[in-house]
Chain A
Amino acid sequence: GAVVSQHPSWVICKSGTSVKIECRSLDFQATTMFWYRQFPKQSLMLMATSNEGSKATYEQGVEKDKFLINHASLTLSTLTVTSAHPEDSSFYICSARGAGQGFNSPLHFGNGTRLTVT
């Protein structure tokens, strides 16, 4: 089956630094990537949608200058949390839709990244 590899699985960083999270589609081409954030004991909230080669579309309330998304290739999308603060501590998870697959095709999830900002 389609595999999405997400790295790192967990990261601890100091306040003010930047952290990059990668999602790679290993055996398919991901034209669309959805980035979600999940706070403890809460649901997954969509942060942004990225299409390969295009600028990401951010959900209301998500700062695009703080959460930089790059989807420059069909197998790699990255989320960079810039100038991280403790309130950015959360679980971040990506979900990919493959090229050539209809809009009803399955979405493939990465295993998530637990970010802790100290």
Chain B
Amino acid sequence: AQTVTQSQPEMSVQEAETVTLSCTYDTSESDYYLFWYKQPPSRQMILVIRQEAYKQQNATENRFSVNFQKAAKSFSLKISDSQLGDAAMYFCAYRKSSAAGNMLTFGGGTRLMVKP
């Protein structure tokens, strides 16, 4: 079974600075997808960024970028120029690239606090 581990229960960053959230995963699959989701206090799940395992290039979305290390099974999220609105729970998630078992498996989450 796949597992996703986020080793940082809480992180804090000063507004306008950069923070990196860590994620490691375990799988025997060669093709899969990795995601970072943001969950603000409203509890709505918001997709931040997605990475296909077959792509070597790291995904970027504006201030958000990932460092995907497939051999190390590591998938960290970097948030640049942090804003107060970035404060939320962040979940790393894994998804198989197959019709069966296509659900998202989530890590335990990291609570990000942004200091003004």
Contacts and interface: CB of A to CB of B under 8 A. Distances in A.
Interface of A: 32, 34, 38, 42-46, 49, 91, 93, 95, 97, 103-104, 106-107, 109, 111-112, 114
B91 interface: yes
Q: Is the interface of A mostly helix, strand, loop or mixed?
A: strand
Most buried by B among A43, A45, A107: A43
Given A42-B108, A103-B98, A109 B103 contact: no
Q: Is the interface of B mostly helix, strand, loop or mixed?
A: loop
B24 to A, nearest CB: 15
A112 B44 contact: yes
Report the interface size class on chain B: 20 to 34
Contact of B43 (A32, A43, A91, A97): A91
A108 to B, nearest CB: 9
A112 B104 contact: no
Nearest to B105: A46
Given A43-B107, A43-B109, A49-B103, A93 B45 contact: yes
Interface string B11-54: 00000000000000000000001000000001111010000100
A87 B61 CA distance: 39
A93 B97 contact: no
